[in-house]
Amino acid sequence: MSYEFLQILWFILIAVLWIGFFFLEGFDFGVGMLLPFLGKKDEERRAIINSIGSVWDGNEVWLLTAGGATFAAFPEWYATMFSGFYLAFFLLLVGLILRGISFEYRSKDADPAWRNRFDWMIAIGSFLSALLLGAAFANLARGIPINADKMFTGNLFTLLNPYGLLGGVTTVSIFLLHGANFLGLKLEGELRKRVNNFAKKLWVAASVLYIALGIFTYAAGFWARGMVNPGIIPIAAVVVLLAAGYFVNRRMEGWAFILVALNIVLTQVTFFTMTFPNVMLSTTNPDWSLTIYNASSSQYTLTVMSVIALIFIPIILVYQGWSYYIFRKRIGTAKKSLIY
């Protein structure tokens, strides 16, 4: 396999890992953010948590794998991005720690204040993580100041530009909608009705924000700086999101879930398409951008990693898919049926 082929392959593989992460952990984050608002009673909250209880950790591994794969395949990208987004990633880590520990600890004590505290930590942690990841990706699309030594020269406030913030808020709203659709599929009775009503409102907010982000991206010319024109993909992303509204309003959660999931996937495809072959765009001087060519590992390392990834990714997909199959049933709020 030629060096360039491997570099493109790994760009695609990392895109796939991020897409998998946003698709899977997207509804996790949404469910987490909705938790304290949707669940009034303890059984309801436990049912909401149990809808993702068995899978959230596996979903989060997509992020760890995306990080690890970036380190292995594009060390310069990993180094510049992780050190450049230092404080943002620190807050992201705090968010992930808060929600991760809360899933496991919230039911291990019967004190209502204890449980309530952990429920809010799940919500806040999920919100922080979604916001920061959205803002980070918006900044990658927009470009950040990078010098000739591939080093980020801004600070946290460089990332808090209007486009970055809009990207963050839009991501939060899409994940909320995604989470609401997922819960519509997993819950039953009164709780299901409640989440269906949430979804209607969330769909309006998500659509408005998403279209605003699209217009901003287009008006600022961010979409046309790579080698490949994303063409019809972003338009399709808008169409599926709008079409999801039809099903959200008719409480057809299955279709609504698929369409919003498709929107998330198409958004990521748009992002990676319009970026290619850059991985981090320098606003200081376009020649100093990190690309798949100047940021990648050696041909040997990419070959080794390709063999390993192509063996193990299918196996992972099979057993992770199986775990979703095991827990395919809806979750009631009857105390006896709940696993704490």
Partner 1 sequence: MDPITLSRLQFGLTTIYHWLFVPLTLGLGWFVAFMQTRYYQTHDETWRKMSKFWGKLFLINFAIGVVTGIVQEFQFGMNWSEYSRYVGDIFGAPLAIEALLAFFLESTFLGIWIFGEDKVSKKAHLASIWLVAIGSNLSAIWILLANGFMQAPPAASYVFNEANGRLEMVNFFALVGNPKAWIFVWHTLADGFAMAAFLILAVSAYHLVRKQNLGFFKRSFQIGAVMGLIASTLVFLGGHTMGQYMREVQPMKLAALEALWETEQPASFSLLTIGDLTGKQEIWSIRIPYAMSFLACNNFSCEVKGVYELQEQAVEQYGPGDYIPLMVVTYWTFRIMMAFGLIMMGASAWFLYATRRKDYENSKWMKLVPFGALFLPYMANASGWILTEMGRQPWIVYGLLKVQDAVSPNLTVVDLWISLIGYTIVYGSLAVAMVYLMKKYAIAGPDAAMHESVDVAPVVIGSQD
d(CA 254, CA 203): 15
d(CA 275, CA 106): 41
At CB < 8 A and 24+ separation, what contacts does 314-323 make? 320/58, 323/54, 323/55, 323/58
Query: Which of these segments, 21-29, 234-242, 277-285, 320-328, binds partner 1 (CB under 8 A)?
Result: 320-328
Exactly one of 2, 287, 314, 319 binds partner 1 (CB under 8 A); that residue is 319
Q: Would you say how long the chain is, in residues?
A: 340
CB of 318 to partner 1, least distance (A): 11
Which CB sits closer to partner 1, 147 or 249?
Answer: 147
d(CA 230, CA 209): 20
CB of 44 to partner 1, least distance (A): 8
Which CB sits closer to partner 1, 78 or 222?
Answer: 78
CB of 238 to partner 1, least distance (A): 33
Which CB sits closer to partner 1, 225 or 332?
Answer: 332
Which CB sits closer to partner 1, 219 or 318?
Answer: 318
Helix (H) or strand (E) holding 222: none
CB of 163 to partner 1, least distance (A): 22
Exactly one of 97, 215, 227, 228 binds partner 1 (CB under 8 A); that residue is 97
Exactly one of 3, 8, 67, 165 binds partner 1 (CB under 8 A); that residue is 67
Residues 117-156 that bind partner 1 (CB under 8 A): 150-153, 155
Which CB sits closer to partner 1, 43 or 188?
Answer: 43
Which CB sits closer to partner 1, 84 or 226?
Answer: 84
Which residues lie closer than 8 Å to 264 by C-beta, 6 or more apart? 19, 22, 23, 26, 174, 178
Exactly one of 115, 142, 186, 194 binds partner 1 (CB under 8 A); that residue is 115
Exactly one of 1, 5, 12, 93 binds partner 1 (CB under 8 A); that residue is 93
Peptide bond connecting 75 to the previous residue in cis, omega within 30 degrees of 0: no
Query: Which of 73, 56, 11 lies closest to 320, judged by CA?
Result: 56
CB of 88 to partner 1, least distance (A): 10
∠ CA 258-260-266 to the nearest 5 degrees?
100
Residues 283-312 that bind partner 1 (CB under 8 A): 297-298, 300-301, 304-305, 308-309, 312
DSSP-assigned letters across all residues of 46-78: HHHHHHHHTTHHHHHHHHHHHHHHHHHH-HHHH
Which CB sits closer to partner 1, 207 or 333?
Answer: 333
Per-residue x/- track, 153-182, partner 1 (CB under 8 A): x-x---------------------------
Exactly one of 15, 33, 35, 55 binds partner 1 (CB under 8 A); that residue is 55
Which CB sits closer to partner 1, 72 or 237?
Answer: 72
CB of 160 to partner 1, least distance (A): 15
Read off the tokens for 255.
């279709």
Radius of gyration, CA atoms only, the chain: 20
**CA–CA distance from 95 to each of 58, 129, 196, 254, 266 (Å)?**
17, 5, 27, 29, 26
Which residues lie closer than 8 Å to 331 by C-beta, 6 or more apart? 47, 50, 51, 186, 187, 188, 337, 338
Read off the tokens for 223.
């979409």
Exactly one of 108, 193, 250, 330 binds partner 1 (CB under 8 A); that residue is 108
